Amino acid sequence: MIDRLKTPFMSFLLILTIGWMGYRSFRYFTYSKPPVVTVDGLVESHYYGGKLQASIKADTGYKIATITGILDGKQIFEESIGSLQFSHPFSIDTNPLSDGAHSLTLKIIDASFHKNNAEQTIAFYIDNTPLRAAFTENNCTVDQGKTAHIKIQANKKIGSAVLQLWGKDITLYPAGENATVYEAFLPIDCERQPSESLGTAVVTDLVGNTTKLDCKVTIRAFTFQKQKGFSVDQTKLNQEKEVSLNSRILQEAIARWAAESPKKKLWTGPFELPVNVKKITTPHGEIRATPERGRYLHKGIDLINTPRCVVWASQDGKVIIKDRYHITGNTVVIDHGLGVMTLYAHLEEYADIEVGDTVKKGNPVGKMGKTGYATGYHLHWELIVNTVSVDPLEWTTTIF
């Protein structure tokens, strides 16, 4: 009885086995998809140093026969796999390699009849140079209303430099393309109190090594001029309100644009005065008291020349604001990168420019006027660093 039962069961197993072998043979001869693998621990265009640890992973349709690793054209490993799913670790000692660009090519071949293959190349960089960095000046002294220029010299390209000062993290950016000097511009408001502050910069290279640097920033008191004030005709003020936006909108727009400013310089060399100056009637930081506005500090400089004369861009940049505001009248603001902006106010009319246009130093932006809160023809010129107005004349005599 048992023998009679065995016969059909064994026949079934035989048929199943033959079917399975047939399927495997069919799959072996017909499978044509290229293998797909991923690499963990080695990322395109990233920097590495020391012992590089990575792994090759796959969950593919046909078992992988071999994986070959070729570093900069030289084979460094060849491994037999024989599996559909695997995670194969490998390491590269980068110390003998030169700093700079390298590439790893992986050649993957499956175990099918067609020996389907795939090739993947990952370009990466090596950095085994010990990190060195220092402030160009450990002690920085700056007057109220001026700009502190903080610079760090590194011995190579780095990942980041962040200065912790005044309870804030201040990022330093490369001084130019491929530069190893990193800089930040710290605007000192006219009304900021004199003080001495210690700062610490954390410098991190491209593979994660860090070093810390200390510096001191001293804000020195500056004596600003005082003006008895003046009065703008009320009829003119009422007319301006009818055709102008609230000045608060201008300040909000500047703050938004400062956050989006390019993280690189758009300018080169010193800034230029935007008109041929006959007279500077009001310096930066002058203390004023007027019936309409009360006590306030004048945050730009007022320049006099022939009425309706051409006003030009003081540096290269992008036009970010072109509109009329209650206080500044017809106004143009240019972004020069890194949160540095120039503002041109009280214009009679605009030049042929629009928001978004790129302008060069010396390109016209408008004509001198007296729109807004003004009693006579003049140009109010302002330089703003990360929403804080500073003395623009300093930027015409110092190359930042």
DSSP for 312-323? E-SSSEEEEEEE
At which residue do the structure tokens 């700079």 appear?
100
Q: Which residues contact 79 (CB under 8 A, 6 or more apart)?
A: 66, 67, 68, 88, 90
Model confidence over 342-363: pLDDT tens digits?
A: 999 999 999 999 999 999 999 9
When the pLDDT of each residue in the chain is averaged and rounded to a whole number, the result is 92
Report which of residues 153 and 60 the model is more confident about: 153
Residues 369 and 241 occupy one common structural domain: yes
Query: Are 253 and 366 in the same domain?
Result: yes
Residue 12: the pLDDT is 54
Examine the domain organization and report whether 84 and 211 are in the same domain: no
Q: Are 124 and 150 contacting, i.e. CB atoms less than 8 angstroms apart?
A: no
Same domain, 251 and 154: no
Percentage of residues of the chain with pLDDT beyond 70: 94
Residues 107 and 249 in one domain: no
Q: What is the mean pLDDT of residues 324-333?
A: 96
Give the sign of the dihedral formed by CA 237, CA 242, CA 247, CA 248. Answer: positive
Q: Give the bridge partners for 124, in sequence order.
A: 102
149 and 190 share one domain = yes
The reply to whether 247 and 336 lie within a common domain is yes
Q: Determine the pLDDT at residue 231.
A: 78
Q: Give the mean pLDDT of 94-103.
A: 96
Position 1 pLDDT exceeds 50: no
Residue range 212-267, pLDDT digits in tens: 999 999 999 999 988 866 778 888 888 888 999 999 999 999 999 999 999 999 99
89, part of any domain: yes
Tell whether the model's pLDDT for residue 179 goes beyond 90: yes
- For residue 5, is pLDDT > 90? no
Top-confidence residue, 259 or 8 = 259
Q: Residue 250 domain-assigned? A: yes
Which of the 8 DSSP states describes residue 271?
-
The rounded distance, in Å, linking the Cα atoms of 179 and 370 is 43
Among 7-16, 156-165, 256-265, 315-324, which is the least confidently predicted range? Answer: 7-16
The domain total for the chain is 3
Domain-located, residue 27: no
Q: Is the pLDDT of residue 398 over 70?
A: yes
Say how far apart CA 371 and CA 377 lie, in whole Å. Answer: 9
Residue 241 is classified by DSSP as: H
pLDDT of residue 3: 52
Q: Examine the domain organization and report whether 153 and 107 are in the same domain.
A: no
pTM of the model: 0.87
Pairing of strands 37-40, 147-154: unpaired
- Domain boundary among the residues 197, 220, 243 is at 220
Mean pLDDT for 46-65 is 91
Q: Which helix (H) or strand (E) holds 11?
A: helix 2-30
Do 42 and 118 share a domain, yes or no?
yes
Which pLDDT belongs to residue 2?
Answer: 45
**Domain of residue 143, CATH code:** 2.60.40.10
- 138 touches 144 (CB < 8 A): no
Closest CA to 391 of 145, 191, 187, 184: 145
| 201 plus 281 within the same structural domain | no
User: Could you say which of 84, 107, 126 is where a domain stops?
Assistant: 126
Do 122 and 46 sit in the same domain of this protein?
yes
**Does residue 120 sit within a domain?**
yes
pLDDT category at 61 given cuts 50, 70, 90 is: confident
Cα angle 255, 357, 306; round to 5:
90
Print the domain residue range for 269: 234-397
Task: Look at residues 161, 185, 220 and tell me which one is the last residue of a structural domain.
Answer: 220
> Domain for residue 229, yes or no?
no
Are the C-beta atoms of residues 347 and 330 closer than 8 Å to each other?
yes
- As a whole number of angstroms, the distance between CA 49 and CA 201 comes to 23
Alpha-carbon gap, residue 374 to 369, rounded angstroms: 9
Residues 197 and 89 both lie in one domain: no
201, two tokens: 């910069």
Identify the DSSP state of 243.
H
Selection from 211, 217, 184 nearest residue 199 by Cα: 217
Helix, strand, coil share of the chain (percent; to 5): 15, 45, 40
- At residue 290 the predicted structure's pLDDT band, cuts being 50, 70 and 90, is confident
Q: Is residue 20 part of a domain?
A: no
Average the pLDDT over 3-14 and give the result: 56
Q: Is residue 175 part of a domain?
A: yes
User: Is residue 19 one of the residues assigned to a domain?
Assistant: no
Q: For residues 89 and 49, what is the distance between their CA atoms, to the nearest angstrom? A: 18
pLDDT of residue 289: 78
Residue 17 reports pLDDT greater than 70: no
User: Looking at the chain, how many residues does it have?
Assistant: 400
